[in-house]
Every structure is written in structure tokens, then in C-alpha cells.
Structure 1
Amino acid sequence: MNSIKIYFLLVYFLIHGLCAQKNPTHPELARSGKEMQDLVPYGWRVLSQASGDLNGDGHEDFVFALQNTLKENYEYNDGLGVDTLDLNPRMLGIYFGKRNGKLKKALQSNTFIINRDVPTMDEPLYGLQILSNGNLQIDFRFWYSAGSWHMSNDTYRFRFQNKSFELVAYEKSERHRGTGDEIDHSIDFENGTLKIITTTIGANEEREYKEESIKFELRRLKSIKTLGKPFEWEFQQFRI
């Protein structure tokens, strides 16, 4: 290969690399590694992480949420709320522990960990947990310092079965900060039951409760992969 071809190849890869930095995408997570530090791509930070046994094989598994750290994706705000928004992309990684001590990638989602994209909004990702029964729990919390009177806590529980992380339960607790009224949804997708508890505050600060139970049939459980993004699946007149 002559020097002219080498020169143009070097220019091409330099330009391509600069464009990739200015327009960051989600890199492919490592297929395997020995420790967490082997799995987190350069330039990404850990937002939340958890460990436990997800697939019942007795080996420690890991789940983590990551976010890129490029300064170009910071947006400055001179209005209400925080003065800087970090709009860098986020992703979810799940790894199974193996007998040889290595960690093998089980799932990567580039869409399920939503971003904090409103200045008056608190961090929506409330945390990741691997429960004692092996379920993966992902919690979101929505609270706004301005622009909304409503606050909510949303919990997704996934179980590794049928070669995917299927959604087996979902809970949503919503409260109006002005009136104090609350509405709680609890869904068991495996048994097809939805429980709704509504709490209203009367004129004399008395609490009134109303409980409703609904049976439903679901042909196939949703999973992290088939959901894609949280809060976009229309189910029983609200979004999951």
C-alpha cells in the first residue's frame, strides 16, 4: 500500500472517529468479563448497580445502568429547575455469573433506562435491585419542582424465564401533592389480576378508600426487550 492510500485512510478514520464522538451512539457491551470494570465502556459512568442470583444457578449475577459522560450532551438552562441537564444516552446491562468466575452478557437495552430531560424533574431512575426470589426490580420515581402537582413511584419486576426477562408484576403509586389524593395500581401479570386502591381526602381531612379488583387475560407476557421503552405500553387505560 503506497503512502497516498495510507494518508487517505488515516484521514478517513480520523474524521469518522470525530463524528462518532460528536454523535455518540450506544456501544455494544462486552460479551464477557471478569469484573464490572471490564464491562463498563470507556467514558461511561454507573448510575445504579445490583448483584444477586437472577437465573437460579447459584452464581452471582450483575445488573447495571450506565450513562455516557460527553460534555457536548450537556444542555444549559437559565429557567426554573437545574441549571444543567445531562442528556447523554443511557443503557441497561445484565450479566450472568458463570462457574469459571466470568460474567457473560445476558441482555443489553439501550432504551429502558429513561433520561432526566426536564429541568424541573428529579432523577427518574430510583434504582435497581435483584430480589431474594431472583426477580429483577427496576424503580422509577417522578417528582417535579414545577409544572406538575402529581408525583409517582413506578416499580417493574422481571423474572428470567423462557430465555427472556419477562414482566411478572408492576406497581404504580400516584399522589396529588395539592389534595393528597392517591391512587395505587398493583398488577400481577402471571395471575391476570389488577388491584386499584383509590384514597381521597375529604373536607374534614377524613380518608375515604375505594378498592377495585379486575381480572384479565394476557396471551403472552411482555419482556424488557418487547417493552422497548417504559411507559409506552397501553394497558388497562394507562401506560406501563
Structure 2
Amino acid sequence: MKLVLFFLAFQTAVYAQNFKYPTLPNQGKSLATIVPGNWKVLDSISGDLNHDQLTDFAFIMEYHKEIRESRAYGDNTTEIITEIQKPRILAVYFKRADGDGYQIGVQNNNFILRSAEGGTMGDPLRPLKIDSNKLVLSFEGGGDWRWKLNYAFKYQDKNWFLEKANNRYYNETSGEMTDKKYDFILKKRLVTTGKTHNRDAANETVSQDFPLKNLRTFHSFKKPWTWEIGPDEFL
């Protein structure tokens, strides 16, 4: 009995550690000089992200051990769930015009899904992409019913705005599928329903107006699945 109590106390001590996210340096010479101790880089990509014709870079890193972490679900505020998992950080650094290293463009501690947030498919994180100067974040998960999420953020006026997104969910066995593509600049949504194995012509696609007052940013859109766009519709 004493051994069990000791083990439980030990586990509590490990997960109740006084963890704090590091503040990444404002400037750096390279990726290797920026990543703090006890963190490892999971993925990185290079390209022009602020329209200055210089090569910037973005990366995702993960802490070396699990902690107790509170994560937003549902509507960002009322549903907060505490989980034991390894924290992740997204960071972007812009190439300095004078060629002297890089300047931080963003540090985000919330948006990247953790390794256990993909359901039975495992780690939901998919490779970073840069498309037309936009940073594209991708995730995939689920079980019999699977989902794929893509978010394209553009850097403008010293902020990161969500311009496009894609939410695709489908049944692995039947092939039943719904694919929603959002263009927040044009305020349009394309909804395709049908089967994953069909040709495009065999599926049905409709275009819908999507009224939106303000573009979402990393600040106003905390993490995937927390934006309730409409009744029973989350992004």
C-alpha cells in the first residue's frame, strides 16, 4: 500500500511541475541557435512568408516530456480540458533585410495539435507547407470516420490572418465524404458531398455565401476544432 501511495505521489509531482513556455529569442542566426534546451524540432520549412523576396523559416517543436496542460475545446473559453501531454510550439522567423540573421515573426503555444489529439490514427500533425507566401498548417486524425484539416495563414500588417481553410471528413469503409473549403477573403464556402472514390463529376458541389465580419488570427482562433462556425459545424 505504501508503495502504491509513493508511486501516485511521484506521478503527481512529475505532472504538477512548474512548467513555463520559453520565450523564444527576438533574433537568431540559425534554427540551431534559437531552439531552447529540452525542446526538439518536429518539422521545419523555408520560404518567403512576408513578401520581401527573402527566405524565412517556420518550425514546430515539442517539449521533451509530458506535463499537465489545459487546452481549449469547443468555443475557446467555456470548455477547457486538462490533459497530460507534451507541449508544442509553432514559430516563424523572418530573414533580416541586412542579412544579419532572422527576426521573430510569431511564437504560438496553442494552435498546434498535440500527439494524442489525433484519435486512433495517432499523431495528427502533418508536414508544414508554404503556398503563395501563406503558411499552411495541416492535421489528420479520427478512426472509422476520419478528418483532414488545413489552415492557410497570411502575414499582413504585423499579424497572421486565416485566409483559407479546408475541413474534409470521410468514412474509411463506405467512402462517404463531405469536403468543405472556406475562402474567408471572398467570403465563400464550397461544400462537396459524395464518395471518396468517385470522380469529381459524380459528387455534388455547392457554393455558399459565408458572411464574416473579421478575419480570424492566431489570437482569435486558439486551436483546431474551437471555431463554431454554425450549429454543429466546427473548424
Q: Report TM bin, short chain.
A: 0.7 to 0.9
Aligned to 1:126: 126
Distance in 2 (alpha carbons) for counterparts of 1:60 and 1:185: 32
Segments of 5+ residues of structure 1 without an aligned counterpart are 1-17, 75-85, 202-206
Partners of 2:116 and 2:122 within 8 A in 1: no
Greater Cα offset, 226-235 or 117-126: 117-126
**CA displacement, residues 178-208 of structure 1 (integer Å, 9 cap, x when unaligned):** 221011101100001001010049xxxxx95
Identity %: 27
SS in 2 for 1:41: coil
Partner SS for 2:33: helix
Deviation at 1:21, TM superposition (A): 9.5
Distance 1:60 1:126 in 2: 22
1:96 has 2:90 as partner: no
Q: CA deviation at 1:117?
A: 2.2
1:13 paired residue number: none
Equivalent residues in 2 for 1:152-191 (5 A)? 152-191=147-186
**CA displacement at 1:143 relative to structure 2:** 3.7
Q: How high is the TM-score relative to the length of structure 1?
A: 0.77
Who is 1:5 aligned against? none
Deviation of 1:24 after TM superposition, in Å, equals 2.2
Q: Which TM-score applies when normalising by structure 2? A: 0.78
**2:140 touches 2:149 (CA, 8 Å); kept in 1?**
yes
Aligned to 1:14: none
Pairing 1:115–2:130 present: no
- Say yes or no: does 1:218 pair with 2:216: no
In structure 2, list runs of 5 or more residues that go unmatched.
Answer: 1-12, 69-83
Is the partner of 1:226 in helix, strand or coil?
Answer: coil
Task: Please tell me whether residue 232 in structure 1 is matched to residue 226 in structure 2.
Answer: yes
Could you tell me how far apart the structure 2 residues matched to 1:56 and 1:200 are? 39
| Conserved 8 A contact 1:25-1:89 | no
Q: Secondary structure at the match of 2:219?
A: helix
Structure 2 vs 1, CA of residues 46 and 215 (structure 1 numbering), >3 Å: closer, same or farther? same
Instruction: Within 5 Å, give how 1:61-80 maps onto structure 2.
Output: 61-70=56-65, 73=67
Hey, which of these two has a bigger chunk of strand by percent?
2
Going from structure 1 to structure 2, the CA distance change for 1:40 and 1:171 (only over 3 Å counts) comes to same
Calculate the aligned-residue CA RMSD, in Å.
2.5
AA partner of residue 92 (structure 1): L
Q: Distance in 1 between matches of 2:62 and 2:16?
A: 15
Alignment length (residue pairs) = 202
How far apart are residue 120 of structure 1 and its match?
A: 2.9
Letter in 2 for 1:126: R
For 1:66-97, what per-residue CA distance to the aligned partner results, in whole angstroms no more than 9, with x for missing partners? 10012x559xxxxxxxxxxx821111111111
Q: Map of 1:186-197 to 2, 5 A cutoff?
A: 186-197=181-192
Residues 73 and 120 of structure 1: CA distance in aligned 2, closer, same or farther (over 3 Å): farther
Q: Which amino acid aligns with 1:53?
A: D
* C-alpha distance in structure 2 between counterparts of 1:20 and 1:32, whole Å: 32
Change (3 A) 1:179 1:20: closer
Q: Which has the larger radius of gyration?
A: 1
The code of the aligned residue for 2:127 comes to G
